[in-house]
């Protein structure tokens, strides 16, 4: 593996990559597609026909479905082969997450089991622990849950009070405390519980069997959406946890919890894709059937606009999510070549891309919220009816902005991590800012060449300069205490997310054009151009919001003029592009990119 072709976490801001070095979903091989197809078939035959029964929390049904998924091998995609799994690459596990992501409450149970529930053990368990529990989790004999949140420790996750004390004979930890909002908590057999030993400042992690004395489950929470997923409070009353069930070492729990959350975040970015594509298909199916004013509503340009926007945002999210997922695999391989075992390399690679992981969580969850919201709108009054599928999609989408770290927390994390970690990967914000100031003296905000992708890349790169310019100006003004400037930090994160997303879209459409020919990339090029156009306005707004917050007078005037130059894009005929993209979806009567 050539290290020079893989960007490290955060490096996207200052380095460019060639399209040929970026993975695109069109490159999934037959085996990967077969795995995705098996997931889709599973939803089609086992889940979609019983969605109402799942949402009514029919006794035993969700647990039975987890078991069936296990029988088909769908729970073991990330579990090593020696523990009855399939040890697939990270990007393949992301494809499975996407496929399963269309399964509403089942998808949440599946993600919690295969992701945050099982992966602490996969990545941090010792051999004996893995032998004991992993085959059961991979086959679905047992179900798993991840227990971090407490009533008074949500976003501030490390402030929990759950406590573990070593027994006098040194054989057990005595666990006491309460966990809240635990997905799969109603039926899970194995719980990864985060608790503090004695008066430790940070957590340790424990593997707790739910059948042990002292583990008490509360009744199911009544929820706004994902009504079929199990969500309960769990109490631990003097639970005797054998010392051999401590995961990793004392005090490593919080690090485990955070690294698992990085993984959960990027996986959520993939899961929303499944749901978004299904909602777009449902939207166009309805639009092609429903007639008003003597014609199908899909003939109205206002409806076409919505379908095209739904598709563009989903397609761009997909471009970014798989680009970063494949980079995680490449980095994992580099780490393995340096002597790390596969599991350690995987989780360290995921953690190395903490900025991008969080970006995909925010971007993906907000893409899905847009898609389902416009889905309801396309259905009109019927969209508000509980009889229609978009009602469920709308309610189920909302949680994605809350769990795996709220989008506020993730936004703060993106800019803070990049500012702090930047220097370690060679980003010198001061120098970058100085370079851009110099460049701005004689800056041409437009593209003079005649290469189609050269032009799109010019703008994608210019948006990076915008990010560096605003960050540089901000850090010059507020070099200390910048984390407290949450409005600005969030605006910077929005710029960073936009920068990563547009570049991913440009590189994907370029790679498609280069490998399949320009004709085959017509829709992708149109979507990318439109997305660049939309993003240029969003970036300008975020950059204005930031600059207006920390600059005044002439300094502000100069900054706003620079922002105008650095965020501008060429004119785009949005009417033509939206109709072009929507007509394809309408013709095919499904999401088709």
Ligand X SMILES: Cc1cc2nc3c(=O)[nH]c(=O)nc-3n(C[C@H](O)[C@H](O)[C@H](O)COP(=O)(O)OP(=O)(O)OC[C@H]3O[C@@H](n4cnc5c(N)ncnc54)[C@H](O)[C@@H]3O)c2cc1C
Nearer to ligand X, 24 or 147 (CB): 147
Q: Minimum CB separation from ligand X for residue 550, in Å?
A: 18
Nearer to ligand X (CB atom), residue 280 or residue 350:
350
* Residue 520 CB neighbours (<10 A): 12
- Nearest distance from residue 87's CB to ligand X, in Å? 25
Residue nearest to ligand X (CB): 154
CA 593 – CA 498 distance, rounded (Å): 21
Nearest to 336 by CA among 354, 326, 349: 349
Look up residue 77 and give its DSSP letter: T
CA distance 135 to 118: 11
How many residues of this chain interact with ligand X, rule: CB under 6 A? Answer: 21
Q: What token pair was written down for 449?
A: 């060449």
Q: Which is nearer to ligand X, 285 or 406 (CB)?
A: 406
Task: State the nearest-atom distance from the C-beta of 397 to ligand X, in Å.
Answer: 12
Q: If binding is defined by CB under 6 A, does position 112 make contact with ligand X? A: yes
Catalytic residue among 404, 455, 485, 510: 404
403 forms part of the interface with ligand X (CB under 6 A): yes
Nearer to ligand X, 94 or 147 (CB): 147
For the record, the structure tokens of 218 come out as 């509360």
CB 22 within 8 A of CB 323: yes
Pick between residue 405 and residue 498 the one whose CB is nearest to ligand X. Answer: 405
For residues 465 and 471, what is the distance between their CA atoms, to the nearest angstrom?
Answer: 10
| Sole window of 28-36, 120-128, 181-189, 301-309 interacting with ligand X (rule: CB under 6 A) | 181-189
* Per-position x/- string for 459-498, each x denoting binding to ligand X as judged by CB under 6 A, each - no binding: ---------------------------x------------
510 has catalytic annotation: no
For ligand X, the binding residue among 141, 348, 408, 416 (CB under 6 A) is: 408
CB closer to ligand X out of 155 and 292: 155
Looking at 296, 406, 515, 589, which residue binds ligand X (CB under 6 A)?
406
Is 231 a residue that touches ligand X (CB under 6 A)? yes
Per-residue mark of binding to ligand X, 138-167 (x: CB under 6 A): -------xxxxx----xx------------
Is position 190 an interface residue for ligand X (rule: CB under 6 A)? Answer: no
**Exposure string for 237-269, b = 16+ CB within 10 A, e = fewer:** eebebeeebbbbebebbbbbbbbbbbbbbbbbb
Measured between alpha carbons, how far is 290 from 299 in angstroms, rounded to an integer? 10
Ordered alpha helix ranges (H), 380-428: 389-397, 407-421
Closer by beta carbon to ligand X, 395 or else 462: 395
In 225-292, where does DSSP find H-type helix? Answer: 253-289
Among 384, 386, 363, CA closest to 373: 384
Cα 467–265–536 angle (5° rounding)? 25
Provide φ and ψ at 23, rounded to 5°: -80, 140
Are residues 186 and 217 in contact, defined by beta-carbon separation less than 8 angstroms?
A: yes
- Compute the half-sphere exposure of residue 418: CA atoms within 13 Å on the CB side of its CA: 30
What's the CA gap between 315 and 157, in Å, rounded?
Answer: 33
Does 236 bind ligand X (CB under 6 A)? Our answer is no
The residue from 182, 188, 466, 501 that contacts ligand X (CB under 6 A) is: 182
| Smallest separation, CB 182 to ligand X (Å) | 5
Residue of the chain from 402, 425, 572, 574 that contacts ligand X (CB under 6 A): 402
Catalytic residues: 404
Residues that bind ligand X (CB under 6 A): 112, 145-149, 154-155, 181-183, 223, 231, 399, 402-403, 405-406, 408-409, 486
């Amino acid at each position: 593996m050539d290290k020079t072709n893989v960007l490290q976490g955060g490096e996207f801001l200052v380095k460019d990559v060639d399209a040929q070095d970026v993975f695109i979903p069109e490159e999934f091989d037959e085996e990967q597609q077969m795995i995705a197809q098996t997931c889709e078939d599973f939803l089609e035959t086992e889940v979609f026909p019983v969605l109402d029964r799942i949402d009514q929390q029919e006794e035993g049904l969700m647990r039975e479905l987890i078991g069936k998924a296990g029988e088909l091998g769908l729970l073991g995609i990330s579990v090593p082969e020696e523990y009855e799994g399939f040890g697939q690459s990270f990007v393949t596990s992301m494809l499975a997450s996407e496929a399963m992501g269309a399964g509403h409450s089942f998808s949440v149970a599946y993600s919690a089991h295969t992701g945050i529930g099982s992966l602490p053990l996969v990545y941090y368990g010792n051999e004996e622990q893995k032998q004991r529990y992993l085959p059961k989790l991979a086959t679905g004999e047992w179900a798993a849950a991840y227990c971090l949140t407490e009533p008074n420790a949500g976003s501030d996750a490390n402030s929990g009070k759950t406590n573990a004390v070593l027994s006098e004979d040194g054989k057990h930890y005595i666990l006491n405390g309460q966990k809240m909002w635990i997905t799969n908590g109603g039926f899970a057999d194995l719980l990864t519980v985060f608790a503090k030993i004695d008066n430790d400042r940070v957590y340790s992690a424990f593997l707790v069997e739910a059948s042990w004395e002292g583990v008490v489950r509360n009744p199911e929470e009544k929820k706004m959406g994902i009504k079929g997923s199990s969500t309960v409070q769990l109490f631990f009353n003097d639970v005797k946890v054998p010392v051999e069930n401590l995961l990793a070492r004392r005090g490593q729990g919080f690090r485990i919890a955070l690294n698992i959350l990085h993984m959960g975040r990027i996986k959520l970015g993939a899961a929303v894709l499944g749901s978004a594509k299904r909602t777009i298909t449902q939207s166009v199916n309805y639009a092609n059937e429903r007639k008003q004013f003597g014609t199908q509503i899909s003939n109205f340009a206002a409806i076409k606009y919505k379908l095209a926007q739904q598709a563009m945002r989903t397609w761009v999210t997909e471009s970014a999510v798989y680009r970063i997922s494949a980079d995680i695999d490449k980095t994992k391989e580099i780490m393995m070549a340096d002597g790390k075992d596969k599991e350690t390399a995987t989780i360290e690679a995921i953690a190395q891309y903490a900025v991008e992981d969080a970006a995909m969580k925010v971007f993906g969850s907000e893409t899905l919220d847009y898609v389902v919201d416009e889905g309801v709108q396309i259905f009109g009054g019927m969209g508000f009816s509980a009889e229609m599928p978009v009602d469920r999609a709308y309610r189920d989408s909302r949680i994605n902005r809350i769990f795996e770290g709220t989008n506020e927390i993730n936004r703060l994390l993106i800019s803070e991590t990049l500012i702090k970690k930047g220097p370690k990967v060679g980003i010198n914000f001061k120098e970058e800012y100085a370079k851009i100031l110099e460049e701005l003296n004689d800056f041409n905000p437009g593209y003079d060449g005649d290469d189609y992708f050269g032009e799109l890349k010019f703008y994608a790169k210019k948006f990076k300069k915008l990010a560096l310019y605003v960050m540089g100006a901000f850090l010059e003004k507020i070099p200390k205490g910048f984390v407290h400037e949450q409005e600005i930090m969030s605006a910077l994160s929005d710029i960073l997310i936009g920068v990563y997303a547009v570049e991913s879209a440009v590189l994907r459409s370029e790679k498609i054009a280069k490998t399949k020919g320009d004709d085959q990339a017509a829709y992708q090029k149109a979507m990318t151009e439109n997305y660049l156009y939309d993003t240029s306005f969003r970036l300008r707004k975020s950059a204005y919001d930031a600059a207006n917050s920390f600059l005044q007078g002439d300094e502000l005037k100069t900054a706003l003029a620079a922002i105008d130059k650095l965020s501008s894009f060429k004119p785009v005929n949005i009417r033509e592009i939206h109709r072009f993209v929507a007509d394809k979806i309408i013709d095919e009567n499904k999401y088709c990119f």
